[in-house]
Amino acid sequence: MTIRVMEEDFDVSSEIARLRDFRPDVGAVVAFVGTVREMNDGATVSAMTLEHYPGMTEQTIQVIVQQATARWSLLGTTVIHRVGTLQPQDQIVLVAVATTNRSAAFAACEFIMDYLKTSAPFWKKEHTSAGARWVEAHAKDEAALGKWQVSRTQSHPTL
């Protein structure tokens, strides 16, 4: 399990190569990359600042990955999340999951992203021509947890 919260950019190919290194049992890798979108909620975003809660962030992601690892027998996982100031088109987050077969890899990658979005303590601030604004949480992100069929009390894995 690799978890990194950092300002620097990441290279997806080298991260996937590292995940597969010396692992002949790996048969599938699914990677999700989230990027800064220029248009959001009707405004043009010129930059985005990401704040986080050092310590809690890493701990929360670790619990999410442990749950996914137990549920889908993952062979390896890399989660990288950037913080600081980013520009449109910049990479924000990478979740890469290695398994023996693809269905587990797709599911685990989505599970980790769904929980990261609703429980890892990151906050986005968008800079637009009208000024800066904090991005509001979307109910659909919380609703997305429903498909993993866990009760409300388990929806934040750190509990």
Partner 1 sequence: MNIDVRFFAGLREALNVSHLSLSVPENIKTIGALREHLCQRGDVWAHTLADGPLLRMALNQQMVGPESMLSAGCEVAFFPPVTGG
Stretch that binds partner 1, among 16-24, 70-78, 103-111, 131-139 (CB under 8 A): 131-139
| CB count in 10 Å sphere of residue 68 | 26
Of 74, 92, 96, 145, the one binding partner 1 (CB under 8 A) is 92
Site map (CB under 8 A) of partner 1, residues 12-51, x = contact:
----------------------x---------------xx
Contact between 84 and partner 1 by CB under 8 A: the answer reads: no
**Closer to partner 1 by Cβ: residue 58 or 106:** 58
**Closer to partner 1 by Cβ: residue 20 or 156:** 156
Cα–Cα distance between 82 and 159 in angstroms, integer? 24
Which of 105, 68, 78, 86 has the alpha carbon at shortest distance from 9? 86
Label the pairing between strands 76-82 and 2-6. Answer: parallel
Of 10, 47, 66, 124, the one binding partner 1 (CB under 8 A) is 124
- Burial track 55-66 (b if 16+ CB lie within 10 A, e otherwise): eebbebbebbbe
Name the residue type at position 48. M
Cα–Cα distance between 143 and 120 in angstroms, integer? 16
Cα–Cα distance between 87 and 92 in angstroms, integer? 10
Contact between 123 and partner 1 by CB under 8 A: the answer reads: yes
Contact between 91 and partner 1 by CB under 8 A: the answer reads: no
**Closer to partner 1 by Cβ: residue 98 or 116:** 116
Chain contacts with partner 1 (rule: CB under 8 A) = 34, 50-53, 55-56, 59-60, 81, 92-93, 113, 116-125, 134-137, 156, 158-159
